Structure 1
Amino acid sequence: MGVSNFSTILLVDNSKEEVFNAINDVRSWWQGEVEGNTNVLNDEFSYSVPGIHFSKQKIIEIIPNEKIKWLITDSKLSFVKDQTEWTGTKIVFEIAEVNNKTQVRFSHLGLVPEFECYGDCSNAWKKLIEESLLSRITTGKGVNVFGE
């Protein structure tokens, strides 16, 4: 089985290209402050929710309409003891055609049950991917899943 990283899957009627473009439009579905560019190789961007979460992502792999991979180069999660738990972990979006639909497999490599933030972080990702990103892909608009 290997390491139990957090992972979730979406299945949509949209094209692979629409899905790819939606994911890269990070500001539209990931709530919080996003600074920097989010759509080409080696782009670096930070994401923050003041007082709760800060992370810096670098796009280390991007294959149009197929795969996007971010490396977390810096992080500070103020609600856990080891505030840099995310640093060095990777976030991967894999896009594939399955039975005439488009499948998105989201994985946070390194976000494992041993992490103190695993519960909170995996719940947050679940909401972000299964509600906000799904809404962004299917309606063109993300939704605020944290009720801020």
Structure 2
Amino acid sequence: MNDYKKSISVNNSADEVYKALTEHIQDWWSDDFSGAAAQNGDQYNIAFGETKKTFEIADAIPGQQVVWVCLKAYIDMDTLKKKDEWVGTRIIWTIASEATGTTLTMLHEGLNQTIECYDVCEPGWNYFIQSLYTFLATGTGTPYLKKEGTLEWENK
């Protein structure tokens, strides 16, 4: 099974893309964020209502790559038997400078069709990668907002 993978091309510099992944996660993924994600060993907590995850930064190479490892996870879905499926998965962001901007490739190692939450997580990632793209293009993403408690893709 192939793990979830998606690439986007943006007009931003590699450094701007790197900062979006290390300093601006709350601007495109979820504003229910605490901790730090800027350097190796940093940890952060992120939540989407009662769905909560903790990540550690395993690798942070400015302008090139960021790797997050999921340490804790609770996916708040009644239909899931295993609510901590993300634990041990790695999210690898590879940043490549191009002549006209930057290509960002995200690989979520361990997120594939063999795990229960894939049918929810795949459209979720598609939504948030688009939010990241929009954040990089305009300065404003479409993150999960704690006060609103829902996302556009959840209601479709």
Aligned residue for 1:68?
Answer: 66
Aligned residue for 1:97?
Answer: 97
Supply the AA of the counterpart residue of 1:67: Q
Output the TM-score relative to the length of structure 1. 0.91
When residues 32 and 116 of structure 1 are mapped into structure 2, their CA distance, relative to the original with a 3 A threshold, is: farther
- Offset of 1:26 from its aligned partner? 0.7
Distance between the aligned counterparts of 1:55 and 1:137, measured in 2?
24
Distance between the aligned counterparts of 1:82 and 1:96, measured in 2?
35
Q: 1:38-77 maps to which residues of 2 (within 5 A)?
A: 38-51=37-50, 53-77=51-75
Distance between the aligned counterparts of 1:112 and 1:144, measured in 2?
23
Supply the AA of the counterpart residue of 1:18: E
Distance between the aligned counterparts of 1:98 and 1:4, measured in 2?
26
Q: 1:1-148 maps to which residues of 2 (within 5 A)?
A: 3-24=1-22, 25-51=24-50, 53-79=51-77, 80-129=80-129, 131-144=130-143, 146-147=151-152
Q: SS state of the match for residue 122, structure 2? A: helix
- Offset of 1:100 from its aligned partner? 2.9
| Cα RMSD for the two superposed structures | 1.6
Is the 2:39–2:60 contact (alpha carbons within 8 Å) kept by the matching residues of 1?
Answer: yes
Q: Which runs of 4+ in 1 moved over 3 A?
A: none
- Offset of 1:97 from its aligned partner? 2.1
User: Among the aligned pairs, what percent are the same residue?
Assistant: 26
Is the 2:26–2:143 contact (alpha carbons within 8 Å) kept by the matching residues of 1?
Answer: no
